[in-house]
Structure 1
């Protein structure tokens, strides 16, 4: 309401039979009282601006992130031989692989290391309820991904050309497998370190069925 309506001397004074109600801006009507009562009994909880969530909408602990991220090196080390053509052609990939060479040599030093790691991950982690589902799901994805390496290995053993078109096809197949493993390693490990759930194609559905 404009101030002139209150200060104008010529404005006629009208009386009404309604009781006087104080109209100060600090007065509270019935609706305002209800609102304040609701706010006092239901305090607003502060929102978390940054949240790290797993598949079950629970925050992922740092140890779980590290364990899940490290597990994805297993199929990459197990299939490193498929990169023999790509690594020799691209210096950028050589620079990326060089820091991992000591660990790869240790992994490849004993023929049964891969099988022992497989048993350890499956029975020691996936079937161990002491680990969270986040860790067990990612470990199961690692195991399924490693099992899939059986198919290119069988194909390479049965089809081993020395030259010509057959060799070109084999080089393309090996390079594709290696690049797929490299992308899975980078994507999955990075997602785990951020507390996210990496879902690899084909592999994720199989892991879901195995991990309740």
Structure 2
């Protein structure tokens, strides 16, 4: 009977009824990700490379090697010197050495085999010297090709055009040889390795 009265009292008076607790949902705390770069500096690793200059004696031998193809290419410049005599002043300083070179019988063959057997195939020399010597030898062989073609084809039989073609060809060969000589000498003076197009690849395969 008492419980019935209590139930009736709660129905008639809702404020007297016990209040239900509100439903709460709890979420974990969000994690904040900072996109700011770290203030710590990354450790830097410094590598020092040692540079060893090319010895002077190796530079001298390399420069002397390029004199061989240049001396043998002077014959191609006769048409150019005949047309422009003042260009002879460029090679006038080497006339004493050139006269000494030509005074030796078969100087071209002696210098060629001496350079190839005495320097290129001599492993006591550094690769720098051997490469320059082999490049000079290869260039000297290539410079002999126009002479052989001239003797075989005999362009004089072609009339005026054949003579002009010979003059242009010889002049072009001499200019190319002169540029290679200057490039090789300047590179060796500063201790760098000159790389003549096509010639350097052929020379490198022989070492």
TM-score tier after normalising by the smaller chain length: 0.7 to 0.9
Cα deviation 1:152-184 (Å, max 9, x = unaligned): 011121224175111000000110111111000
Name the one with the larger helix percent: 2
Shift in CA distance, 47/152, structure 1 to aligned 2, threshold 3 Å: closer
TM-score normalised by structure 2 residue count: 0.72
Cα deviation 1:101-140 (Å, max 9, x = unaligned): 2222222234411000011101110111111100000000
SS in 1 for 2:156: coil
**In the alignment, which of 119, 125, 129 is matched to residue 125 of structure 1?**
119
Greater CA drift, 135-144 or 88-97: 88-97
**Alpha-carbon distance in structure 2 between the residues aligned to 1:146 and 1:165:** 28
**Alpha-carbon distance in structure 1 between the residues aligned to 2:150 and 2:49:** 55
TM-score normalised by structure 1 residue count: 0.70
Structure 1 segments of 4+ aligned residues over 4 angstroms from their partners: 44-48
Q: Answer whether contact 1:87 1:94 (CA < 8 A) is retained.
A: yes
Shift in CA distance, 111/173, structure 1 to aligned 2, threshold 3 Å: farther
**Alpha-carbon distance in structure 2 between the residues aligned to 1:127 and 1:89:** 41
CA shift, 1:93, in A, is 2.3
Unaligned runs of 5+ in 2: 1-39
What's 1:60 paired with?
54
Aligned: 1:108 with 2:102: yes
What's 1:77 paired with?
71
What's 2:206 paired with?
210
Unaligned runs of 5+ in 1: 1-30, 52-57
Give the paired residue count.
166
